[in-house]
Structure 1
């Protein structure tokens, strides 16, 4: 097995497009993008709860 060249990658890419079709690949790409976006949002939400709790406590104390 030799190195992976650009021509080998192009041939594999063409075979994948012929096998699955562009519509299915576009849908798969959209689903993958949505999953990554959801994962990033969940990671950011994990870091913010302490700050949100403090802000909520301040809001409650101002209302009383």
Structure 2
């Protein structure tokens, strides 16, 4: 095994560690914004807008 093979193996370990430690994506189960519950959620999101997402994150930081 040469240095390039070792570097490739190390890179794969870093990628696997990063992927296993990322936060799960939050999605709406009923198609509505999970914060305001008044508007439809944007595609591939749980919120209707960036403002609702920011409000939820702020609430989550304050209240754990």
TM over 0.5: no
Q: TM-score, normalised by structure 2?
A: 0.43
Higher RCO (CA 8 Å, separation ≥ 6 residues): 2
Q: TM-score, normalised by structure 1?
A: 0.43
Q: Give the greater-gyration-radius structure (CA).
A: 1
Instruction: Select the structure that is richer in helix.
Output: 1
